[in-house]
Chains A and B, each alone.
Chain A
Amino acid sequence: MKRFLATMWMVLILSSAAEGQTIYVCENGSVDFISDAPLEMIQASSDKLVGALNIEDRSFSFRIPTKSFEGFNSSLQKTHFNQDYMESDRYPNSTFKGKIIEEIDLTQPGNYSIRAKGTMTIHGVGIDRIIRCNLNTGSNRIEVKSDFTIFLEDQNITIPSIVNKKIAEEIYVGIDLILVPK
């Protein structure tokens, strides 16, 4: 009996240790965006994207603090981005949470084109979206690349008419990150 109990404990410990490998995390992924309007192009980027992916059930959660974006054409513009448009004191983060649609085994090295389905929340407005991503899995790492667009109107971000030729209605977003086992 004692041997049996010890075996059970071993199974327990081993299984939970193996479980640790199913969670992959990213601490400094990069996000950049471009607003390409007739009169002005605005670019900004951040490398403060954090995220976690469970390769077992393929669920994920990503988050980026709005205030971490740098770039812009002037510091005043950065202030306005945070203060007037994104309202980053009220909505400090943009998030994307959901699940990978394709039932793939991410432990197998290779290139995968997948669809990530979930809720993308920007400026406090959550929208269900499906985002195409390219995954490159290697030994103990998953590289994720993606690009998509965001419509400011959908996120309830209004552009005053006086600057509507300087801020695009559609914003291009690029994502580049590497997940490693936790």
Chain B
Amino acid sequence: MKRLFYSFVILGLGLPGLVLAQDLDQLLDDLEENNPDPRYVMGTFEGTTIINGQSVELPGAGDLNFRISHRFGAVNLGIYEFFGLDQASTRFAFEYGIKDIASLSIGRSTYEKTYDGAVKIRLLRQQTGIKNIPVTVTVFSEAYVKSIRWDYPERDNLFTSRLSYATQVLVARKFGEIFSLQLSPTYVHKNLVPKPQDQNNIFAMGAGGRLRLTPRFAVNAEYFYLLPGQTAEDYINSLSVGIDIETGGHIFQLQFTNSRAMFARGFVTETTGEWLDGDIFFGFNLYRVFPLGEKRRNLRW
């Protein structure tokens, strides 16, 4: 009986001690579990484009991106044209984030003196935590106005004939810190095509990837496969390789591509350069993020 008595005394003194020694960290785990947070995957791609094509990324709410894209002439033009550097084709664009999930953009390209306007909306965001969503899904839809003078101005040319459209469903996943992959099914509609056999509706499948080798340096590649049809017979699939260099607020993308146009309709359905012939273009995209509104005051430049 005495033993029982002592054991109770020990228990009585010892048990509170055990509770005391309760691991505070375990408690924190429990607190976090009670109050879970969605853990979004960030930075699937560095920029809003992988190379030519759109990535799943959007400018943040209230952010204005100013983007300058530039493609030189074909590398195989030789020393007289300084391997294409004497020639230039550009696209200037503004991208504005209305909300975290939606942005608008406008642009102007040298290529056929084209104006473009687009809407981009993120439907799903890759995340863990409360929900497990394995991919980010963004829809991109763009309209184009070709403003180049008509070949035959004496004809009755309609404004609607200047219009064309591209729509993409971008599905991407970031696999760890290094590798991201995106599929970009693309639909292009052209109101007017030059020849009767040309397609007004063109489908293509795009794929792009990024290898982020250091925090500020990545290698990208991108390919658009035209589904069989007249366009696929007349044109070449777009293939681009490039690098991203991030310098805090600026993003530089340098690339080689066989496409001259820097907007979806152009590079998906009107690419003519053959990689093996050296009919490729060196170029860069450069963009700068300008915070607007209240946040602007935090910048002292």
Among A4, A56, A77, the one with the most B-chain Cβ atoms within 10 Å of its Cβ is A77
Q: Which residue of A lies closest to B97 (CB)?
A: A75
In chain B, residues 244-301, which have Cβ atoms closer than 8 Å to a Cβ of chain A?
A: 246-249, 289, 291, 295, 298-301
Cβ-defined contact, A79 with B19, below 8 A: no
In chain A, residues 25-51, which have Cβ atoms closer than 8 Å to a Cβ of chain B?
A: 25, 27-28, 38-43, 48, 50-51
Q: Which residue of B lies closest to A40 (CB)?
A: B299
Give the complex CA separation of A22 and B1 in angstroms.
Answer: 33
Pair count A-B, CB < 8 A: 134
Given A83-B43, A166-B248, A39:B299 Cβ within 8 A? yes
Cβ-defined contact, B301 with A39, below 8 A: yes
Given A12-B11, A74-B289, A84-B215, A182:B298 Cβ within 8 A? no
Which of B20, B63, B177, B247 has a CB less than 8 Å from the CB of A163?
B247
Q: Which residue of B lies closest to A81 (CB)?
A: B42
| CB of A25 to closest CB in B, whole Å | 6
Cβ-defined contact, B215 with A163, below 8 A: no
Give the complex CA separation of A40 and B301 in angstroms.
Answer: 8
Give the complex CA separation of A79 and B246 in angstroms.
Answer: 12
Dominant secondary structure at the A interface: mixed
| CB of B83 to closest CB in A, whole Å | 29
B19 CB contacts on chain A under 8 angstroms: 16, 19-20
A interface residues (Cβ-Cβ under 8 A, vs B): 1, 4-5, 8, 11-12, 15-16, 18-20, 22-23, 25, 27-28, 38-43, 48, 50-54, 56-57, 59-63, 65, 67-68, 73-80, 82-84, 89-90, 97, 160, 162-163, 166-167, 182
**22 A–B contact pairs at CB < 8 A?**
A15-B15, A16-B19, A39-B300, A40-B299, A40-B301, A41-B299, A41-B300, A48-B37, A68-B37, A74-B63, A74-B289, A76-B249, A77-B249, A83-B43, A84-B215, A89-B177, A97-B25, A160-B248, A163-B248, A166-B249, A167-B248, A182-B27
